Amino acid sequence: MAAEALREPADAIGAAGERGFVFEERDFQRVCRMIHARAGISLGPHKRDMVYSRLARRLRARGIERFADYLDLVERDADGEDEQFVNALTTNLTSFFREAHHFPLLASQLRAMYRRGPSLLVWCCAASTGEEPYSLAITACEAFDSPTPPVRILATDIDTSVLQVAARGVYPLERIAGIDPVRRRRFFQRGAGANEGLCRVRPELRALVELRPLNLLAHDYGLRPGSCAAVFCRNVMIYFDKPTQYRVLQRITPLLAPEGRLYTGHSESFNHAADLVAPCGRTVYRAVRQGGGR
């Protein structure tokens, strides 16, 4: 059977004369099935070039010429390649205080909920390289005007490589250029000498954030029902199909405290899950309890 094959773009080829990798349509379809099963990510036909570009790096690293052979390796999970496969196909687009309207809302919510309990848990479902969970930690510090607020940030991600970046808490200065100078001085240390052009999250801020690998397709997130004051699951669901979104919401909503809130991305809508969540603000939801209560 004649098969359509994609060849690596010339500007992505390493040494002169190195040929591209064999990437047939059936390989792409297999990638789609594998990443959906492992991470819930749905890939459309327009993602084929992206898949090639990202996975070609793994083929090159493993000395493999055919995508079919590489995917066999992933399915055997030889030397942890299954994890590398997921890491390669995970999109990690993030910034400090992205979708900024959520953070004043969270600050008000945390102050109100603290009157009813000794400590609060905020879960960031897609920590990426750490900008979002550290933004949440900054918000908590400012909400309580304390470097040790009664708030714990749980930051999880399926991509273990980005969690390593988050754990270091070191970023190029341009990443914090949009943060006002008072915040920059209070929460970041500027590098000097060999670290010129870099900044580091201050240790007291990093101490508020617990980083943990987690797949949202897992059946158990390791959290108690009703334990979360807030769940930030932003710009994650857009990569899932509707049935997967629904299953994830089924697992998240019981974790919200009675006054807890789910914060989502601007492109995400859950009309198909009206029995699970109800909007209560701009891309903010509450859990619908049995019988329609809060």
Q: Does residue 216 have a known ligand-binding role?
A: yes
* Token pair of 26 as six digits: 């059936």
Contact 172, 197 (CB under 8 A): yes
> Annotation-wise, does 195 bind a ligand?
no
Q: Does the active-site annotation cover 54?
A: yes
Q: Is 92 part of any known ligand binding site?
A: yes
Token readout for 196 is 């010129």
215 is in an annotated binding site: yes
94 is in an annotated binding site: yes
Catalytic, out of 30, 38, 54, 184? 54
Q: Is 87 annotated as a binding residue?
A: no
Q: What are phi and psi of 153, to 5 degrees?
A: -105, 120
Residue 12, burial from CB neighbour count under 10 angstroms (0-12, 13-18, 19+): middle
Is 79 an active-site residue? no
127 burial class (0-12, 13-18, 19+ CB within 10 angstroms)? buried
- Is residue 157 within 8 Å of 239, Cβ to Cβ? no
Q: Is 132 annotated as a binding residue?
A: yes
Spatial contact of 151 and 209, defined as CB atoms under 8 Å apart: no
Cα–Cα separations (whole angstroms), residue 170 to 81, 164, 175, 192, 203 = 27, 10, 10, 13, 11
Task: Give the active site residue among 27, 48, 58, 157.
Answer: 157
Contacts (Cβ under 8 Å, ≥6 apart) of 168: none
254, two tokens: 């019981």
Task: Please state, in angstroms and rounded to a whole number, the distance separating the CA atoms of residues 26 and 4.
Answer: 9
In the chain the beta strands, taken as DSSP E runs, fall at 5-6, 23-24, 120-124, 151-157, 170-172, 188-190, 198-201, 209-213, 228-233, 256-264, 277-281, 284-287
Q: Is 6 annotated as a binding residue?
A: no
Tally the C-alpha atoms within 13 A of residue 60's C-alpha that lie toward its C-beta: 14
Give binding residues for S-adenosyl-L-methionine as ranges: 92, 94, 98, 132, 157, 215-216, 234-235
Query: Which residue positions form the known binding site?
Result: 92, 94, 98, 132, 157, 215-216, 234-235
* Catalytic annotation, residues: 54, 157
